[in-house]
Chain A
């Protein structure tokens, strides 16, 4: 039935524009306002008593609210067909993502917060100068704070919090099932494939960071730690194939929300058939040894070549040795005659006068920069702090005005190119 209406890899994102949110008696959507029965949501998320406590709070753009200890962000979504889930494998059974109808709450993010061992958390300000930097300053945020039982291990807690954020996302989108969306975006790349032969074929090489507990990225529910680069259809990315549990550096991690909204995939998909042919997505993990990094880079480039790529956009996740993955893949592609543009953020020091990357290759001659982590920003005082009571490394109350490195702001220098931040050389 669905096969006929929806050919393989035709995806409809059915968008419900949400302008406000409040707590109320029945979870639902009333004229663009998301209403949440808080108690029902809390009981649902903690039905197995996985947590000592679950708190749910709301933060809207423009409010004098600071969210601290941000770990991940997820968009509320619902898959309309059968028992499929919008996060296959990570939540529920494995179905191939990227086809059929997916309802999305446009303008809403579920933010998972809290402390994790050895992790420096992200900050999101909903107003003031800090709000310019995070895309999550412009979403209506449903902020989850799950606290573990004393005996819960780090592994168990991470699994439970990841599941809770995804379940909250599905719960919040639940009421849209019978509703008519505000608008629909169709992704049907196959239909254009044979039309425009004179357009350049472009592949997206998408580095994921999966290196162990709290530094993990999941593909269809399995971590990508040992992944040999493989090919995804762009629709799979946009429809929940990739889920993050990577919390390394606040400004430069790719939250689940941005995997779902991968800006490079969206850009290439929208220009498909007009400026270029989007020939596919190659995912490759950033591994922990040089041998594996080399293997990954060579395989990613080889797959791009097999897809007939003339050009490739390459992105990274994280810094330090992730620069090596970016550079190696760039070099391998260029050596195969595939022209590359890479995207990177910078660590140029507070004054902007230090080397921006830790690894370089001469082939990287076309780079888009997404900002300098080290530049300082001043945040206004706020009235309310959600997600915790302190900010690591910051003395004094968390609601005060602060001057911090941009690197502390969640997704501020996002390496998928989600924002307009760039750098000018002086």
Chain B
């Protein structure tokens, strides 16, 4: 028998409406409210042993402590599966269900499933990390939603390999896997364009991706005493490429000394970047890595000094995974060496 804990808000947990939205997390034995339908859908394979309930506002106003308290309660029942919601299109409940599922997976190592309307902000926030069944916007779709969550939850608890989001009914998590289509790309493009022109429904195969945002670094207060470093993805290396930096799909970055170098010469340095014509960079590598100009700035006292090494890699089909790793590793060295500013040149 699989032990299931069900997470609900104060409304579905039958504590009360908006006036009770501030209630702190609490646990009760056995299923409550939608938990009845959940138990029915789970059948004899699983048992809802407890329900953890938290007020919408309590969770929304203190998401981190609320998550911790909820997780403590859930943990005490030693579940093998956690089901949260469904939250439909409820704007506070959805993110709470998402946060609970994510924490259950990462902190307890237990599978979790929730259900939301695709436009619920909780879906956008958490769909990448959790399994979220697609539901309608309101509780009118309760029975269907709970049944889909039960089916998916049982599969997750059994460690089964899941099929496609369409087949299993969960919101796509943004994991991209190669597959073979019935038609060629060109034929699919023509089909999609005709559908778009006729106002018929079509589904893009690649929703526009979103990227991480980084908080801007504070400005350098006094450049005249600062150490400034040069970093490039332009593939600048010593002539002959002694360390075999790749021309594409780089697996590494390299660090070379600038000591005693006033001006990068094409006789001593070159580019191995496969993505752009190297003719100009090979004539004068300063066109990619402006050592000559920074040496002048150093001499004039405009900057404290130019950092004694430069870092280089090739940004040509290089994976974001590697790029991120290179960036983190380079930053660690620069910070350890007291560098205050970095000029990153890219091609």
Contact = CB atoms under 8 A, between A and B. Distances in A.
Given A275-B190, A366-B202, A373-B317, A422 B180 contact: yes
Given A341-B196, A353-B175, A354-B320, A271 B185 contact: no
B247 A417 contact: no
A248 B190 contact: no
B249 interface: yes
B193 A311 contact: yes
A305 B99 CA distance: 49
A406 B178 contact: yes
A417 B180 CA distance: 12
Nearest to A314: B189
Contacts of A424: 164, 176-177, 179
B197 A271 contact: no
A112 B86 CA distance: 59
Interface in A210-269: 211-215, 247-249, 252, 263-264, 266-268
A119 B187 contact: no
Interface string B165-201: 1000000111111111111111111101110111000
B177 A267 contact: no
A355 interface: yes
Interface in A338-385: 339-341, 343-344, 346-357, 360-362, 364-375
A213 B206 contact: no
B246 interface: yes
30 contacts: A200-B194, A212-B276, A213-B277, A214-B277, A249-B249, A249-B275, A264-B190, A271-B190, A311-B196, A312-B193, A313-B186, A313-B190, A313-B193, A341-B189, A343-B186, A349-B320, A354-B319, A366-B196, A368-B192, A368-B206, A416-B185, A417-B188, A419-B184, A421-B185, A422-B179, A423-B177, A423-B205, A423-B206, A424-B164, A424-B177
Contact of B248 (A249, A311, A357, A372): A249
A366 to B, nearest CB: 5
A47 interface: no
Contact of B193 (A263, A339, A349): A339
B204 interface: yes
Contacts of B74: none
A118 interface: yes
B274 interface: yes
Instruction: Give 3 nearest A-B pairs by CB, closest first.
Output: A212-B277, A417-B185, A417-B186
Contacts of A200: 194, 197-198
Nearest to B251: A393
A352 B274 CA distance: 24
Interface residues of A, number: 81
A211 B316 CA distance: 14
A147 interface: no
B278 A263 contact: no
Interface of B: 128, 162, 164-165, 172-190, 192-194, 196-198, 202, 204-211, 235, 246-249, 251, 271-279, 315-317, 319-321
A49 to B, nearest CB: 26
Nearest to A265: B186
B176 A267 contact: no
A407 B184 CA distance: 19
A284 B175 CA distance: 33
A367 B177 contact: no
A50 interface: no
Nearest to B163: A426
A371 B316 contact: no
Interface string A93-110: 000000000000000000
A119 B175 contact: no
Nearest to A117: B278
B270 to A, nearest CB: 9
Contact of B274 (A118, A263, A310): A118
A365 B195 CA distance: 13
B206 to A, nearest CB: 4
Contact of B271 (A118, A215, A393, A418): A118
A242 to B, nearest CB: 16
Contacts of A368: 185, 188-189, 192, 205-206
Contact of A341 (B193, B235, B277): B193
B195 to A, nearest CB: 8
B188 A425 contact: no
Contact of B321 (A264, A350, A357, A362): A350
Contact of B184 (A202, A372, A418): A418
A263 B317 contact: no
Contacts of B204: 364-367
Contacts of A365: 204
Contacts of A211: 276-277
Contacts of A367: 204-206
Nearest to B278: A118
Given A264-B186, A311-B196, A417-B185, 11 more contacts: A119-B274, A120-B247, A200-B194, A267-B184, A276-B190, A355-B209, A355-B320, A357-B206, A368-B192, A372-B178, A426-B176
Contacts of A276: 190, 194
A17 interface: no
A374 B319 contact: yes
